[in-house]
Chain A
Amino acid sequence: MKHLSKSAMRRAFCAVLLLSRMSLSSGDAGPARVEDSAKDAIYDCQVPQAAEAPARAAEFGAASWDKNKLGCAADIWFSLASAPKADAVTMLQTLLATTRYIDHVNTLWSYDLYGVRTPEWAARLQHAIEHGKSIEVRLGEVAPDDPNALAARALFKVTWPLRVAETRTQLSETRAAMALLKKAVAGDPAALGGNALWVLGRLYYEMPAFAGGDTVKALALLDEAHRRTPDSISLLRYTAYVYAQEGNAALARRKLQELLPIEARASELQLMADELKNAGDLAVRLGDSGLVGQLGTKRGALLKAHTQLLRRQVTAANMHGGVDPITGKDY
């Protein structure tokens, strides 16, 4: 298959694993004590002529804060991939766009901590996962050994089950993803713009040891990934988190500081806003007030310049969430 450039891969995929973490909670869907919000899962998506479709999908896909545009971008790609003569690159782009949309919905659901809009999230995921599964199989058939395709399939496998599948499925899909990622990085350590390497490291870190996790391997992979892609904002923030968890606060702070000079690409605005929030939160935990201020200033400027970006707040429901009732501030 034709390989996409590294930068194209980065742009296409930059937010796929945004904020999603290994979560093995029950993910059954359905309304209870909540409005049947499933109707909000319906969005208007006009699929343009084939010649215009990639550009339209790219335009919508860049709106990384907009669930409907991201959903439509995935749908447009899916229509292209459904054509009889669809090539592997189209399938790859389709799987990436679909995974990115699923990740976006997963993240929205994660901030809906008390499940107020569960029916909407479940309906959106059902639609996208169905598309993703079919494309993942086809991509495996047409490009069984391509490192980018292998990595894209792996990322889909760790993303789709997060909120809707039982633990056994999450574990089995994660293990399958690790096997695909190992094969991908063996073929090309820079597969999928460097994402394959660092996601493999992440999975090694987050899986329990008795299920294939390995902290030592994880740290080595993350360091190697950072050496290859030093300006990856998600990788930097995640590596800082891992070092904090492992008790190396100094190295964690250093990784966070490396975030400061990085400028967000147009397609990474939401990702940058989110990772700066996470990084600032981690700096709070590390007790580095100077870093908290710097990261906060950078995020504040970004949000001010792009008011459409999501601020990621937990809505108050069932006696939890909202602002701190004592200070009146977000936390």
Chain B
Amino acid sequence: MTPRQEIYRSTPTRFGAPLAFAAALCLTPLHAATLTVKAGESIQSAVTRAQPGDRIEVLPGRYHETVFIDKDRIELRGIARAGQWAVLDGEATLNDGILVAGHGVSVEGMWVKRFKGNGIMTQGSNNFRIAHNVVEGPCFYAIFPQFGKNGLIAYNIAYGSEDAAIYIGMSDSVDVVHNETYASIIGIESENSRNILMENNYVHDNVLGIATTLLPGLPVKTADNLIIRNNFIAHNNKENSAPPGAITAGAPPGLGILVLGTDHTVVEGNIVRDNESGALLIAETSFFVSTPDDKMDPFPDNDQILRNVSINNGATPRGVIKDLLEAAGHDHGVDVLSTGKGRDNCIANRGSVVALGTDRFADCGATTTSVAIVSMQTREAVAARSYTPEQKGRLTYLAVCSGCHTYDSKLIGPPMLTVKALYGKDSQRLADWIAHPVRKRPDYPEMPPQNYLPADIRLAVAKYVLNELSH
């Protein structure tokens, strides 16, 4: 057990220490062997040699590679000595730092920086643990679990993201606790996810502090049972530098908390201060995103606003918040702003906050609280799901390829239509090229080698691109 582990396990959360501790134990893999990686060696080589259940210890030093873990119960652990970390540096040339596709995988103690896509991403992984890492931008997402069940994201420092620093995407039963996020578009976002606890985080100096969102155009159509509790959300007044046209370009600057279309969302016990536009906005999804998706209910329902401390928010509203306030005849911000849609929402101690648009909100009552819920992780590890080659191909395309490619347009790399035309049905040739690409077109940047992907994964994604991908 490293000192940082001791700090984690001995630091009580206000309400959730006992069960969070127990859940963390459930997720800690029992390691069979320990492989050590020294400076100058390859982390990926160790992953390739490792067996499920093994621990990989990465000694201090600088490593320049993408690490792909598709084996179960691997524990990747950076070892810090005398203030020196195991640093995984993408040097702004590689796309992804650590990609996890196995179940029960733990990533701890790594300093991951300068990857163009994701710092640490899990894709379809259950029972994951991402703790005690530093993830430094610029990157798109610093920490991004997607399609996962049962996870812990704790004691990380994440900053410099062009989107969300910690982004929980279409996942279930995840605790996001004791993290610090800053200098990003969104500090922490839970998107189309269920059973998520965001607690005791320090979220500051982003465009927007914490957001729970239900977005259209995604396969998961609900966002439900979310808790934003006991966080310190301060000074999120960064200018929004998201690329024009990107969905995050609409993130309201100067806002502490955004609840966008999510249901059964509890906002409780947070200290929210010095956010220039306001403390909290509750709105329907269609207010910000016009993509039609009638499979989802865009209104926020059954949400509870419970006893937050709001200080000096809304002093100088900007952007959409300012425009909304002006439409209502306000020249300064409010603590709680709602567009007024949704049913069965409530607010506690209404008289203590300045609110607008909450006429349909009931009184939550003096004793309503979420403290009985101390963790959203499951008591037992969820089943490790096995994926077919087709599913692996689609998941890998989404996680790895779609950051640079789209079907019929140029994003960073060429459109996949041209790739299909070039390779026809020869998926093996494309799989081989992915591992060792060479520059073919002068008007495109050279593609980073994807040789960290195992041969079967490369073939699966090549088959998906050539045989299945259609939009």
Give the B-binding residues of A (Cβ under 8 A). 19-26, 28-35, 37, 106, 110-118, 121-122, 162-163, 166-168, 171, 206, 208-211, 213, 241, 244-245, 247, 274, 277-279, 281-282, 284-285, 312-328, 331
B394 touches A328 (CB 8 A): yes
A34 touches B147 (CB 8 A): no
A28 touches B409 (CB 8 A): no
Between A and B, 23 residue pairs with Cβ closer than 8 Å are A30-B244, A30-B245, A33-B243, A112-B245, A113-B247, A115-B243, A168-B323, A208-B324, A208-B327, A208-B328, A241-B294, A278-B292, A285-B295, A319-B117, A319-B141, A319-B403, A321-B402, A322-B402, A322-B469, A325-B124, A325-B391, A326-B147, A331-B221
Question: Beyond A116-B411, A210-B356, A247-B343, is A281–B293 a contact (Cβ under 8 Å)?
Answer: yes
CA distance A143 to B106 in the complex (A): 70
A26 touches B250 (CB 8 A): yes
Q: DSSP majority for the B interface?
A: loop
Question: Beyond A26-B319, A113-B247, A245-B299, is A279–B294 a contact (Cβ under 8 Å)?
Answer: yes
Contact among B323, B324, B339, B407 for A316, CB-based, below 8 A: B407
Nearest residue in B to A330 (C-beta to C-beta)? Answer: B471
What B residues does A206 contact at CB under 8 A?
A: 286
B402 touches A326 (CB 8 A): no
What A residues does B398 contact at CB under 8 A?
A: 316, 319-320, 322, 325
CB distance from A213 to the nearest CB of B (A): 7
Central interface residue in B249, B343, B408, by most chain A CB within 10 Å: B249
Nearest residue in B to A312 (C-beta to C-beta)? Answer: B292
CB distance from A105 to the nearest CB of B (A): 12
Question: Beyond A35-B411, A209-B357, is A20–B290 a contact (Cβ under 8 Å)?
Answer: yes
CB distance from B153 to the nearest CB of A (A): 17
CA distance A31 to B140 in the complex (A): 17
B409 touches A37 (CB 8 A): yes
Q: Does B225 contact A (CB under 8 A)?
A: no
How many chain B residues touch A (CB < 8 A): the figure is: 71
B412 touches A33 (CB 8 A): yes
A-B contact count (CB 8 A): 219
Contact among A26, A163, A208 for B357, CB-based, below 8 A: A208
B217 touches A24 (CB 8 A): no
CA distance A166 to B289 in the complex (A): 14
Q: Does B42 contact A (CB under 8 A)?
A: no
Q: Does B34 contact A (CB under 8 A)?
A: no
A114 touches B394 (CB 8 A): no
CA distance A226 to B250 in the complex (A): 34
B221 touches A285 (CB 8 A): yes
A interface footprint on B238-250 (CB within 8 Å = 1, 0 otherwise): 0010011111011
B320 touches A317 (CB 8 A): no
CA distance A3 to B410 in the complex (A): 47
CB distance from A146 to the nearest CB of B (A): 29
Give the A-binding residues of B (Cβ under 8 A). 117-118, 121, 124, 140-141, 144, 146-147, 163, 169, 216-219, 221, 240, 243-247, 249-250, 286-297, 299, 319-320, 322-324, 326-328, 339-341, 343, 356-357, 359, 390-391, 394-395, 397-399, 402-403, 406-412, 468-469, 471
A315 touches B286 (CB 8 A): no
CB distance from A34 to the nearest CB of B (A): 6
Question: Beyond A317-B411, A324-B219, is A25–B250 a contact (Cβ under 8 Å)?
Answer: yes
B221 touches A213 (CB 8 A): no
Q: A278-B292, A322-B471 are in contact. List 13 more A-B contacts (CB 8 A).
A: A21-B292, A23-B287, A23-B290, A110-B290, A171-B327, A210-B340, A247-B343, A285-B296, A315-B406, A317-B402, A317-B411, A319-B121, A325-B395
Contact among A19, A112, A210 for B327, CB-based, below 8 A: A210
6 closest A-B pairs (Cβ-Cβ)? A115-B245, A118-B245, A25-B250, A32-B243, A35-B410, A23-B290
CB distance from B424 to the nearest CB of A (A): 21
B290 touches A314 (CB 8 A): no
B291 touches A284 (CB 8 A): no
B249 touches A28 (CB 8 A): yes
Central interface residue in A115, A167, A245, by most chain B CB within 10 Å: A167
Question: Beyond A23-B286, A23-B287, is A211–B244 a contact (Cβ under 8 Å)?
Answer: no
Contact among B219, B240, B328, B390 for A211, CB-based, below 8 A: B328
Contact among B121, B294, B328 for A285, CB-based, below 8 A: B294
What B residues does A166 contact at CB under 8 A?
A: 319, 323
What A residues does B144 contact at CB under 8 A?
A: 319
